[in-house]
Chains A and B, each alone.
Chain A
């Protein structure tokens, strides 16, 4: 559409509202050892966590910004201006009736209690630093499934928590995993006992309400042998004039024969730096699947990974990114094959609109002396306007024989002929563009659970403005 001044408008307005809330706990701006002591004290955390956090803070300061390969926009984050902990209290409510009115109406407006009734096995709703609500359906709880916040997890279930916490993603993995490890609050701790298959998804909803705030939730999910679980997360924030930071760490552990599916629909407002580290460990015959949809944020850097540690383990990343005007979606996948006969699959589709930029970074590693490892990667990028941009940077390392890796990528645009064809059938230029874009991602949208794919279509409810120039 070289001579067409088209603009796609995406429905990001859903989360763009804000109610005033009084915070009882506020660690102030900046991150120092004092901030960490404050967080530890109000949360009543054990000493090993205090040490863990302080060690992480040192690593955070040591590590340089990764601007030698990543966007220079990272330099615009002013860490000293950010508030690292804001809450009304540390204990989530088990019933919506107990959730304070000022917080409850936010989640009601976002439709969370309704979705919970309809199709979820459990919900955790985080408001700034802490979960305001957390509950699991009784039947699921009775099967022994644990679904609580990270603080409760580390205090109440230390024997499981400590075994895996920080083991999939070490503190010093990158600058932002270190930041999260220093300041983490909220997020989920889930344990699914052997053989238990949780039939409905567990959902977390992350809401940033405060300005100049940083949200650092920490999620650890363990599916014991033969267990199965699907976890979904959604997120929104109101549009502020100043930058907001979201930096989560998510660790998944799928033990022998277990299956974890982790679904994200990221719809942060355009002022959010979304810098997230996500990795899963798949043991023998286990499967970890990341389904990741990035629509919002100013800059997202997120490369979900799977370490396939046991034989026949499988890893998968399905990713949709939509980069609108002024946005940079820097996403991708990391597949580490650490055992024989492991299989990984990456499918990534991105759409760049206006001045939007979509970047794919991939890493596939098949180390020496493994046999029968397979990776397949497909990356497709769609460019809508002449000033849109897309980049693809995969890195594939294969040592030894007996393995097969294949990477394919393409870049295309919605051609003028295609738009004319659809217009000739009576669709407006906007409808035609919208249909084409939806067609491009259709096969991936189908990967989302029914309820979510409906939600997704609404989110990518594309409207066209402008005229043929």
Chain B
């Protein structure tokens, strides 16, 4: 079992502190959900773990199986096994999905070793079938002109192909209708297993009906204020975040 451990993390963008002492321990084999109101810092957490250059870690640490990854370039972290399914995936004009994924897999092979094309396509098609994606998808440029649902499916397809140790799913449900949500959730569920840990970030409880988490964390103002079982998500859905918000607001005021 491996652990992705976030230890008392403080993160700023410019002068503004967004994460204020966040701690979390995600082991492989588990799915954790992070819920919280808009602006609580959920997406920041995912981007910081992936190494986005806009954010500054002022204190605390992120440990991949005991080793700090904060000094590593984003691509080194990715090859180590961290995958971020983006809330807003970038368009890459002219680069097809097939070529892009091949380059990403090739980057994971030792120097001098070439990716085996037949195996690659067999695996690619298998995963695409799982996500109900037509074959013609492979020759489309990455995310260019994709609908919201297509973008999210494309993110999960990449996750399936790259087989990360820890996957961070940032608002994967945003922009999805119910049918697309089911397909994406089905894809994610099929990737659950003892060797994979997942952090599902969402604003709505709806996604957690389909991807049932082992642990639910509530995040407010850059910190985890409560953790519990999946029932906690139902409570949030019913009562909103106000109960969690208020003591924090007082604390900030003081």
Contacts and interface: CB of A to CB of B under 8 A. Distances in A.
Between B79, B86, B103, the greatest number of chain A beta carbons within 10 A of the residue's beta carbon is seen for B103
Contacts of B79: 426
Given A415-B90, A418-B91, A427 B53 contact: no
Contacts of A425: 75, 78, 100, 104, 158, 162
A424 B50 contact: yes
B95 A442 contact: yes
A427 B104 CA distance: 6
A436 B104 contact: no
A436 B78 contact: no
B90 A421 contact: yes
B107 A426 contact: yes
Contacts of B99: 435
Contacts of B100: 422, 425, 435
A417 interface: yes
Contacts of A439: 92-95, 141
Between A415, A417, A425, the greatest number of chain B beta carbons within 10 A of the residue's beta carbon is seen for A425
Contacts of B50: 420, 424
B89 A440 contact: no
A443 B89 contact: no
A271 to B, nearest CB: 32
Interface in B144-173: 158, 162
B124 interface: no
B52 interface: yes
A450 interface: no
A431 interface: yes
Interface in B102-122: 103-104, 107-108
Interface residues of B, number: 29
B94 A440 contact: yes
A438 B75 contact: no
A429 B73 contact: yes
A387 interface: no
Contacts of B175: none
B84 interface: yes
Contacts of B60: none
Contacts of A440: 93-94
A230 interface: no
A422 B106 CA distance: 13
B90 A438 contact: no
A436 B144 CA distance: 13
Contacts of A422: 92, 100, 104
Interface in B47-97: 50-53, 73-75, 77-79, 83-84, 86, 89-95
Given A423-B73, A423-B78, A431 B92 contact: no
Given A421-B89, A427-B104, A438 B78 contact: no
Given A423-B74, A426-B75, A418 B107 contact: no
A443 B94 CA distance: 7
A428 interface: yes
Given A429-B75, A431-B103, A439-B141, A421 B92 contact: yes
A468 B103 CA distance: 21
Contact of A435 (B83, B103, B162): B103
A28 B80 CA distance: 63
A438 B107 contact: no
A416 interface: yes
A468 B52 CA distance: 12
A441 interface: yes
22 contacts: A416-B53, A420-B51, A420-B53, A420-B90, A424-B74, A424-B78, A424-B83, A425-B75, A425-B158, A426-B78, A426-B162, A427-B103, A431-B75, A431-B103, A431-B107, A432-B75, A435-B92, A435-B95, A439-B95, A440-B93, A440-B94, A468-B53
Which 4 pairs between the two chains have the least Cβ-Cβ distance?
A439-B94, A439-B95, A423-B74, A421-B90
Given A426-B104, A439-B93, 11 more contacts: A416-B53, A420-B50, A420-B74, A422-B100, A423-B74, A423-B75, A426-B75, A427-B104, A428-B73, A435-B92, A439-B95
